[in-house]
Amino acid sequence: MAKTIAFVFPGQGSQQVGMLADLAEHYPLITDTFKEASDALGYDLWALVQQGPAEELNRTEKTQPALLTASIALWRLWRAEGGAAPALLAGHSLGEYSALVAADVLPLADAVRLVEKRGQLMQAAVPAGEGAMAAILGLDDDAVIEGCRQASDAGVVEAVNFNTPGQVVIAGATAAVDRAIEVLKAAGAKRAMPLPVSVPSHCSLMREAADELAAYMDGLTLSDASIPVVQNVTAKAEQSVATLKPNLLEQLYRPVLWSQSVAELVNQGVTETIECGPGKVLTGLNKRIDSNLELSALGSLAAFQERLGSDS
């Protein structure tokens, strides 16, 4: 039976100093893509990615362009080397922007400036120390949602990433997240771990940032997608820019439905997901969502060449 492939693009947390160095040694297209992004941003993004320091790369307004560019460099390389075209695309959080560049919704130069602005607005929306996120393991989605409701007297706290069955991330005001951790541990969570982030992504505290991002996006030209993209907020495949754009803005303050998105890929006939970015975070999640999926990742030279050669 012929494979039906979906490409999936990772979000923040997959970055690391030195990413894609081995690929860049063999394929100039990697550094060419970073130069294109650097020219748009006004600083040497490849130097930051290769030399760090990690503290600078991990600043959200730097992380977002770096990861998007890494993913698009791999995407371009895959296509240039004759890799099969996917039937569908999806990206986790920031990764949705990478998916939209791959689908020709907006060019790389506009996209890196857009996600830089997104990172700046997210950080400005909630001052450092006032927001938090935590991963909750071992409870079903409804139990986590209920725990957040019980803790909401301490402030905004919401379930924001439905990553796999039994793995949900919560976000909100620091005091409310701390309270929700207590409530969810008492409800039977196997683990409830604060995450090392400075921004409570995908919760309602980001609504003001979304309004400002909408104003910035109004100055950009977006096109219909050449490949359908399963979006985070609906877990549905979309191609019309009239739908893609508002969903992308809502993603800033609404949950990432990753588990549901992968289920939709499978429902659409996908038999393999290929992770197009550094690391294997989504590959691990997808394995837990549907054990029947074939899984590949392209983030190293060996992995890229192995997957590329498997179809020949």
Among the listed residues 93, 98, 259, 296, the single catalytic one is 93
Is 93 tagged catalytic?
Answer: yes
Among the listed residues 92, 98, 201, 202, the single catalytic one is 202
Q: How sure is the predictor about 2, in pLDDT bands with cuts at 50, 70 and 90? A: low
> In the chain, what is the straight-line distance between the N-terminal and C-terminal CA atoms, in Å?
16
Chain segment 105-148, per-residue pLDDT in tens: 999 999 999 999 999 999 999 988 899 999 999 999 999 999 99
Element (H, E) at 36: helix 28-41
Calpha distance 66→15 (Å, rounded): 8
Q: How sure is the predictor about 277, in pLDDT bands with cuts at 50, 70 and 90? A: very high
Is 259 tagged catalytic?
Answer: no
Instruction: Please tell me which residue, 103 or 128, carries the higher pLDDT value.
Output: 103
The model's pTM is 0.96
